[in-house]
Amino acid sequence: MSVGTGSPTLPRTPAGEAPLLAVRDLHVSFASPAGWIRAVNGVSFTLGAGQTLGIVGESGSGKSVTSRAIINLLPRHGTVRTGEVFLGDRDMLGLAKRDLRHALGGDVALIPQHPKVSLNPVMTVGRQITETLRLHRGMARRPARREAADLLAAVGIPDPKRRLAEYPGQMSGGMCQRVMIAIALAGQPMLLIADEPTTALDVTIQAQILDLLKAQQAERGMAMILITHDLNVAASYTDQIAVMYAGRFVEFSSAREVFEAYRMPYTEALLDAMPRLDSPLTAHLAAIDGEPPALVGLPPGCSFAARCRYVTEHCTRETPPLQAAGTSQHLYACWNPVRSASPEPPTAVANADCRH
């Protein structure tokens, strides 16, 4: 897995094969009465088969917009201004509508944040799963129904044959999320994007759903992008973490390094805001002062400067590039990084490999 700041040459996996997903210098904007909202600003990374990338950050940081741009599923007022997205050798941003419909739900699948909103309330669960099987895998009605029952069993739904005849309104939120996973897996995707898949679920069900996703990924060899605001979730279920702020990746590293050797003050603030089991019962949760910037007419300098405890004058004048400490694969975008006492001076990079 690798990440960069510009439009890098396509990196190679350790096995010498091209990555499954390559995103290069992605910029996404939305039209508004105040001007163009720059929701994604120069995101680049690659992802290999079987790898998991976690994208974390506050609401409005650009996580979901990035995922929807990757699959060319932006709303009408959203525009990819520049950039490239390749799934294998397929140009996702250049696909004709017919080819895009075939790719979505087939080679790439999305698990949305709110399953009960995404599922059709007037169609049975069985019909919604078999629709994907018939469209993307060309299965006849009876084999598709048998496969749908097998998929429900695979995602942990008991008595799957009976459940095929039920409607989403007859199921709990956790069950509906399992149905969404079954629909996503029905097309046998190479890439699975899970956009806050457990936000509305309690902690126990959340862990079950995430364990299920990892098990299915391992069994099927899929690449996965897990979008979350919860660093604990990202640390437990991903290989690499990209911390996103104001439409940019501001830190990129292995899950372990993000916790143990973070450099970006925003990452430190996110970690400080996490509840801890060893905190006194009377302790107040830390909060990040201020709000994320409006993404219309961003001023020069670091976008986090107004909220940063380490801000200097330089931070407000020039936007920091994504950089690494020497030959490190740990990247960050900061002029005055946390834990900056390093034997290796930081070096700006156009594209640094973050393979594992």
Q: pLDDT tens digits, residue range 276-313?
A: 767 677 777 778 888 899 899 888 899 999 999 999 99
- Burial category of 29 from C-beta neighbours within 10 Å (exposed 0-12, middle 13-18, buried 19 and up): buried
Residues with Cβ within 8 Å of 250's Cβ and at least 6 positions away in sequence, in order, are 243, 244, 264, 266, 267, 304, 322, 332, 333, 334
pLDDT band at residue 350, thresholds of 50, 70 and 90?
very low
Q: What is the mean pLDDT of residues 89-116?
A: 89
Q: Is the pLDDT of residue 14 over 90?
A: no
pLDDT of residue 346: 43
Mean pLDDT of the chain: 86
Look up residue 163 and give its two tokens. Answer: 């459940």
pLDDT of residue 257: 87
Q: Is the pLDDT of residue 8 over 70?
A: no
Confirm if 194 and 224 have CB atoms less than 8 A apart: yes
Q: What is the mean pLDDT of residues 166-183?
A: 92
Q: What is the mean pLDDT of residues 262-284?
A: 82
pLDDT band at residue 320, thresholds of 50, 70 and 90?
very high
For residues 132 and 263, what is the distance between their CA atoms, to the nearest angstrom? 44
Confirm if 165 and 154 have CB atoms less than 8 A apart: no
Q: What is the mean pLDDT of residues 180-209?
A: 88
Q: pTM of the prediction?
A: 0.87
Q: Is the pLDDT of residue 183 over 80?
A: yes
Sign of CA dihedral 117, 122, 127, 133: negative
Amino acid at 340: S
